[in-house]
Structure 1
Amino acid sequence: MDFGRLLTAMVTPFDENGKVSLKRTSDLLEHLIKTGSDGVVVAGTTGESPTLSQEEKLALFEHVVRVVDGRIKVIVGTGSNNTSASIALSKEAAKLGVDAIMVVAPYYNKPNQAGIYAHFQAIAEQVDVPIIVYNIPSRSKVNISAETIIRLSHLENIVAVKEASGDLDQMAEIISGTDEHFHLYSGDDGLTLPILAIGGHGVISVSSHVIAPEMKQMMNNFRSGQIEKAAIQHQRMLPFMRELFAVPSPAPVKALLNDLGIAVGSVRLPMVELTEEEHTSLTNVYQALKRSLSLGISK
């Protein structure tokens, strides 16, 4: 199954009281659709999933499916370090008509590779929607090995992996060891082009909240053989992509969206808002990017 090349790891909009705002979610979805996202990932890391209750997640999933109405793909985060709880939430999400679920590597309890495989296998056996495996060792403290991901790809409804290990060798091994219908997505904006170069399918992005058209153009240039143009675009966007993670995400991207008139509210504790200095730095890097992109590509 193909979910597209550019998926946005969507922030969860809150109102002034810190409650999930479905109105602001609708507005954000229209912005993401208009600017070219092929799909959204709801209640992932960027969506502050650890601070969302199950009731909030399900209400958000239902609302997003209804508002999107088939215009783009809807993938929802249902994984945790509790296998039975992950299965229960995944089943409820499947009933709402989502296109896929994304399941993170079990965090904190640090299972071995056999345990990781069994965790995903148990979920895959209990739900009938496509599953994207989410490998993010920096947060989960376990790495899903290439061998394990290749084994998981043989399960009928495990169709893709979001790779945020930063290990291009591991990713190349996954791509070479899985069939053409299994897709690898970059989990790091700054590795989008390198991952495409080794055979990756696309990116699940934070930056695409703001620069989706530019990212899509870069990806299209690469795929059409305009490698040098794609490389220049990648170089120009990289400082901005890094700035979005200079402090814990999603505080920077939420601040920037608010600045641009797309109200998404603040972050929930234990995340905190940007300091004045951090906000100024973000603004300066974003403005520098816009000036750079306005110059066009001369080579």
Structure 2
Amino acid sequence: MTPARPFGRALCAMITPFAPSGALDLDGAGELAVRLVADGCDGLVLSGTTGESPTTTDAEKAALVRAVREAVGPGPSVVAGVGTADTRHTAELARQAERAGADGLLVVTPYYSRPPQAAVEAHFLKVADATGLPVMVYDIPGRTGTRVEPATMLRLAAHPRIVAVKDCSYDLLGSARVIAESGLAYYSGCDELNLPLYAIGAAGYVSTVANVVPRPMRAVLDAFDAGDTAGAARLHARNLPLTELMMAAGLPGTVTAKALLGGTVREPLQPADRETADGLRKAYEALVQAESTV
């Protein structure tokens, strides 16, 4: 069966461009958004981990949604990250995102306080009730300290506006169970797992690496959908060297993406050093060269 894809298949966890002064660069955000859509992204996820949401203000988050919505028009999905450690604050950000023109909400598990599962469930339900927008649950226990357990996810699936999951749980068994037992659209949030999750019924991905190479990332899904599973595996393997350097080499994906695209990160993040940037550029150029010879 074809999985539900409420936000499309190929989504980019978009960086948030900043000027050298550190100010929000809305023109740069619009330009990047247009380029990503032109290169195959079905949707853009703003103000997530890669979008440096902990260091942008509420007003900046809303302004970013408005700028990207205006730049890309009504077609591509614009999903706004609204997650915080405070349920009331998250619900207010959700309402602001709705007014700004978002198509959906990315809601991360409350962090630091490490709430038990009943409280996690209540948090998501209250945020989902705050607007008329569909919600993508962001399960990333490595950052939040709290997992959305499969049983909790299955209960959340009963809410009519909780429709999707950005999955960074690294639990293929648990994810497979929820995919099989619910109508939730699973999106891989870990680029190295895009193809494995897709192969067991996920809807697509929310990719950090797609900031830099959106077409090679989408090509994996296109090959799989065409029935060329061997080709999909080959393309996935071709992307892995850059994926590993960007996502698993000790630096946040925000930092490695901006090392390739240019741009400022906000403290406490620091830019990549020259050696790291050179290694990323070498892997990027090798992937672009490989893509051009196909």
> Greater CA deviation, 285-294 or 144-153?
285-294
1:231-276 C-alpha deviation (Å, 9 max, x unpaired): 0111110111111122122011111112xxxxxx210001000111
* Contact 2:31 2:71 (C-alpha < 8 Å) held by counterparts: no
What letter matches 1:278 in structure 2?
T
Cα deviations across residues 159-216 of structure 1 (Å, max 9, x unaligned)? 100000111111101101102xx20000001100000111111000011112211222
1:219 aligns to what?
Answer: 221
Of the candidates 58, 62, 70, which is equivalent to residue 54 of structure 1?
58
Q: 1:122 & 1:234 partners in 2: Cα distance?
A: 38
1:199 to 198, 201, 211: 201
Q: Does 1:173 align with 2:177?
A: yes
Question: What SS class does the counterpart of residue 174 from structure 2 fall into?
Answer: helix
Give the letter aligned to residue 273 of structure 1: P
Q: Provide TM-score, normalisation by structure 1.
A: 0.94
> Conserved in 1, the CA contact under 8 Å of 2:63 and 2:100?
no
2:129 counterpart SS class: helix
Q: How does 1:31-42 map to 2 (within 5 A)?
A: 31-42=35-46
Q: Please give the secondary structure, in 1, of the residue aligned with 2:6.
A: coil
Which residue number in structure 2 is paired with residue 261 of structure 1? Answer: none
TM-score by length of 2: 0.95
Aligned residue for 1:119? 123
For residues 138 and 200 of structure 2, the distance between their equivalents in structure 1, rounded to whole angstroms, comes to 19
Task: Please give the root-mean-square deviation of Cα atoms over the aligned residues, in Å.
Answer: 1.2
Counterparts of 1:129-278 in structure 2 under 5 Å? Answer: 129-179=133-183, 182-245=184-247, 246=249, 247-258=251-262, 265-278=263-276
User: What runs of 5+ residues in structure 2 fail to find an aligned partner?
Assistant: none
3-state SS in 1 of match to 2:126: helix
Which residues in structure 2 correspond to 1:79-90 (within 5 Å)?
79-90=83-94
Take 1:99 and 1:191, find their aligned partners in 2: how far apart are those partners?
25
Q: What pairs up with 1:76-115 in 2 under 5 angstroms?
A: 76-115=80-119
For residues 73-119 of structure 1, give each alpha carbon's deviation from its aligned partner in whole angstroms, at most 9, with x where no partner exists.
10000111100000111111112221001100111100111110010
Q: C-alpha displacement at 1:13, in angstroms?
A: 0.4
Contact persistence 2:47–2:80 (CA under 8 A): yes
Distance in 2 of aligned mates of 1:210 and 1:121: 34
Q: CA deviation at 1:288?
A: 2.3
Q: Distance in 1 between matches of 2:87 and 2:229?
A: 43
Identical amino acids, percent of aligned pairs: 38
- Secondary structure (helix, strand or coil) at the match of 2:260 reads helix
- Deviation for aligned residue 1:150: 1.0
**DSSP 3-state at the match of 1:172:** helix
Residues 36, 12 of structure 1: CA spacing in aligned structure 2 closer, same or farther, 3 A cutoff? same
Q: Does 1:14 align with 2:18?
A: yes
Rounded to whole Å, the distance in 2 between the matches of 1:268 and 1:126 is 30
Could you list the runs of 5+ residues in structure 1 that have no partner in the other structure? 259-264
